[in-house]
């Protein structure tokens, strides 16, 4: 796995100041959120279903803009960025979804390589990197396997590799262990922890699995009814 070099400035990776989000049909889902994620941090986000976890993550990876408040990513205010500037900022963010979002007609290799191919990079320039990344997630023997032939855990690891192929400074994972068994869930979180310690990538993982959280020494943020109500700590520091 190639080394990822995050911006080592003093600016937080993520800063939310008084952020609220309102949907037209459902009303306010997030209210006055203040949050700082330091660069190189590893953090869990938890809370019951409907608490606003996915909405908060969407704000962080710029799928939505806030109704009120400000968002800064790597020191850049996001509300007034031009399209090209937003695209450049998004390339610094990797996202892992619970439902994998792989293309069934592609192999594991092709799914991971897709962001690079779409950007116009030639296969000769990324082939070894994609293979190395698949080996790192434990799929060195499944490089050419089509998506339907992969187990749920294998598909999730392909999705992780795809999220990392652009060498993001921030990795956001939305319930990444929700569709795999507990043993595979532990393996997946150990991959995230290794990435954080070895490379320094800032990582935020949303999950409702408190048993899994307790196995890792990391701070935990909790959402309830759209409010960031407390920081729960299992030995980590915010």
Domain residues for 110? Answer: 105-167
pLDDT over 50 (residue 217): yes
Residue 35 domain-assigned? no
**Considering only CA atoms, which of 195, 143, 136, 133 is closest in space to residue 170?**
195
CB 57 within 8 A of CB 172: yes
Residue 161 domain-assigned? yes
Q: Find the length of the chain.
A: 238
Q: How many CB atoms lie within 10 A of CB 187?
A: 17
Please state the domain count of the chain.
1
Residue 118 domain-assigned? yes
Residue 125 domain-assigned? yes
Residue 157 domain-assigned? yes
Residue 129 domain-assigned? yes
Residue 33 domain-assigned? no
Mean pLDDT of the chain: 90
Residue 53 domain-assigned? no
Q: What is the mean pLDDT of residues 58-86?
A: 94
pLDDT band at 103 (very low <50, low <70, confident <90, very high): very high
């Amino acid at each position: 796995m190639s080394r990822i070099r995050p911006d080592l400035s003093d600016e937080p990776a993520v800063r939310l100041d008084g952020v609220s989000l309102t949907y037209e049909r459902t009303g306010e889902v997030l209210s006055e959120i203040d949050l700082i994620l330091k660069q190189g941090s590893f953090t869990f986000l938890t809370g019951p279903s409907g608490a606003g976890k996915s909405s908060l993550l969407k704000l962080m990876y710029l799928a939505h803009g806030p109704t009120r408040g400000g968002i800064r990513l790597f020191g850049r205010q996001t509300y007034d960025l031009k399209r090209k500037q937003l695209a450049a900022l998004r390339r610094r963010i990797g996202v892992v979804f619970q439902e994998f979002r792989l293309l069934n007609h592609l192999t594991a290799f092709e799914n991971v390589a897709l962001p690079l191919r779409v950007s116009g990079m030639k296969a000769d320039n990324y082939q070894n990197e994609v293979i190395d990344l698949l080996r790192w997630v434990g799929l060195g023997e499944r490089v050419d396997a089509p998506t339907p032939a992969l187990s749920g855990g294998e598909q999730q690891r392909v999705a992780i590799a795809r999220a990392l192929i652009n060498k993001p400074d921030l990795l956001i994972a939305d319930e990444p262990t929700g569709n795999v068994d507990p043993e595979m869930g532990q393996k997946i979180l150990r991959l995230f922890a290794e990435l954080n310690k070895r490379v320094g990538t800032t990582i935020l993982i949303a999950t409702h699995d408190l048993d899994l959280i307790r196995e890792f020494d990391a701070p935990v943020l909790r959402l309830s009814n759209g409010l960031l109500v407390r920081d729960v700590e299992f030995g980590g520091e915010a």
